[in-house]
Amino acid sequence: MRAALCLSLALAGCPSSEDAAPMPTGSTCPPGSTLTYDSFGAPFMEEYCTRCHARDVIGAARHGAPVDHNFDTLDGILQEAPHVDSYAAAGPDAINTIMPPDGDAPSDEERRRLGEWLACQLALR
């Protein structure tokens, strides 16, 4: 069905995660959020991001990840928080599935928690 729809809408284009535009999620930090770097941020990044976005990953092993986008520390994540939100998080305004481009990917619920966690971290700054 999706293939037929894409064919019929060929002139308009068929969206996919590869050509989706990054979009801020509009996530906010709810009162009482329990997500922390240790309980959520670090494990999420280790599971889905640091295979390419880490200081010790170099050259072709980064698979095109910018050399200044390293998510193996809290400071590194927060430095790029708007980018992370717009490419990998979910919230009321968007569910971003651009990252990771391959391999294991987070569920929409994990992406929602990422958006919440980022919003809470930025609120602390």
Q: What is the pLDDT of residues 24-82, one digit of tens each?
A: 999 999 999 999 999 999 999 999 999 999 999 999 999 999 999 999 999 999 999 99
Is residue 76 a part of any domain in this protein? Answer: yes
Domain of 105 in residue numbering reads as 20-124
Total tally of structural domains belonging to the chain: 1
Average confidence score pLDDT of the chain: 88
- Determine the pLDDT at residue 19: 59
Is residue 101 a part of any domain in this protein? Answer: yes
* pTM: predicted TM-score of the whole model, two decimal places: 0.84
Is residue 11 a part of any domain in this protein? Answer: no
Distance CA 15, CA 75 (A): 33
Is residue 6 a part of any domain in this protein? Answer: no
Residue 4: half-sphere exposure toward Cβ, Cα within 13 Å = 1
Least confident of 5-14, 86-95, 104-113: 5-14
Single-letter amino acid code for the residue at 110: E
Is residue 86 a part of any domain in this protein? Answer: yes
In sequence order, the 6+-apart residues with CB closer than 8 A to the CB of 91 are 25, 26, 27, 28, 85, 112, 115, 116, 119
